[in-house]
Amino acid sequence: MKHITTMPRFNRREMLALALAAAAGSRQNAFAQDPSSDLVKYVDARSFAIRHRASLDLADAEADAAELWIPVPRDDPRQIVHDVVTEPRVPIVSDSTGLARVARLFVTNRLPGRLSSLDLEVRYRVTCRRTAPDRAALAQYTVREYKKDAMYRHHTRAATLVETTDRRIREIAKECRGRDRSPVEIARAAYDWVLDHVAYRELDDFRGAVYCLEHGQGECGEYSALWVAICRAAGVPARIVSGFWGDEEDGWHCWAEFMRPNGPWLPVDASMGDQSPMRRDYFFCATDNRRVALCRTNDVELRGVKTGLGKIGSLQIGAWWWQGRRLAPEARAPEAAFHVVGRPIELA
């Protein structure tokens, strides 16, 4: 699955406020996200060895400059990342919101000779845990307890392909919000609505919430986008999570999560809940221990070496750009291929 979206620009004040809110939130919510919390437990650890590769074919072009980005996962209560290695050795940088980070390879024609390809590899180990929530306890929190700070506003705003301002989505959100429902109850009502009205169908690209609503179909990205849009329109902070299965080759997958007031982000996997009817309840607020989260936004904005702030969209598999010319009118344009392979690490 390849997600291509654009991102509205933040001004300096908004970006600073968001970064400060994220830092403060991580400190304030440390206890709520602690694996020993009674509300949410993170259990049954499994470890995986990951190899993520990117190759940009430049054989039919004369490139003046080119850049490759490969997403690198962050630590969170559900996963711990170990021993990140890149080949060649390159910097690992964050996007403007801090919700994604990448290994970045940049080259120019100052290097000797004309490049036929640009290659980047990222290897690491990651330990994933299953999320086990106390849903009854989580449902005691109210919408009024949300702090209307920069983080809240960022995760309740309209975004590209998460169209919270669409009239139909707002009507569904109003229905899901009801009267005096808790954030967990609102998120569950949105989850049930999506599963009752959407059928799984593979697509060739990411088409977003309105497409999913209008056509009643989509894959994991569309399920997640529609659910996130409904939650945001109802005043519940939510976001798309993109990643992959840790024990597969190119096992790309998307899910989502919402935030409890002053507390942890809770996972929701609508497409898996729809494809596994016997586990419909499980995939609301709980997840398995074989998924690796790469990016917690579908709006990624990275500062390139020459491009300034580049609008990448979803950084699920990776991103790239080049500048130069084709060697002949009929020559193939440069194109990048991304692959990820994960294998379980058996504990002794």
**Domain parsing of the chain, residue ranges:** 12-43+132-295, 52-128+300-345
Lowest mean per-residue pLDDT among 109-113, 248-252, 265-269, 319-323? 109-113
Residue 167 clears pLDDT 80, i.e. is over it: yes
Cβ neighbour number for residue 108 with a 10 Å cutoff:
14
Q: Exposed, middle or buried, 15 (CB in 10 Å: 0-12/13-18/19+)? A: middle
Selected from 3.40.50.300, 3.10.620.30, 3.40.50.880, 3.30.1280.10, the CATH number assigned to the domain covering 12-43+132-295 reads 3.10.620.30
CA distances from 174 to 145, 191, 230 (A): 19, 14, 9
- What is residue 315's predicted lDDT score, i.e. its pLDDT? 82
Q: Which amino acid is at 141?
A: Y
Confidence of residue 307 (pLDDT cuts 50, 70, 90): low
Band (146; pLDDT cuts 50, 70, 90): very high
Q: Is residue 172 over pLDDT 70?
A: yes
Peptide bond into 237 cis (omega under 30): no
Cβ neighbours of 49 (radius 10 Å): 16
Count of positions (residues) in the chain: 348
Q: Do domains 12-43+132-295 and 52-128+300-345 have the same CATH topology?
A: no
Q: Could you tell me the pTM of the whole model?
A: 0.86
Confidence (pLDDT) at 111: 46
The answer, yes or no, to whether residue 343 has pLDDT greater than 80, is yes
Is the confidence at residue 30, as pLDDT, over 60? Answer: no
| Mean pLDDT (whole number) for 241-255 | 96
- On the question of pLDDT at 341 being above 90, the answer is yes
Q: Which residue has the higher pLDDT, 199 or 22?
A: 199
d(CA 193, CA 209): 13
In this structure, the strands spanning 40-57 and 335-345 are antiparallel
Residue of higher predicted confidence among 98 and 44: 44
| Cα–Cα distance for residue pair 15/36, rounded to 1 Å | 33
Residues 6+ apart with CB under 8 A from 161: 5, 206, 207, 208, 209, 210, 225, 298
pLDDT at 26: 38
The conformation of residue 217, written as its DSSP 8-state character, comes to E
Which CATH fold would you assign to the domain 52-128+300-345?
A: Immunoglobulin-like (2.60.40)
pLDDT of 45 > 90? The answer is yes
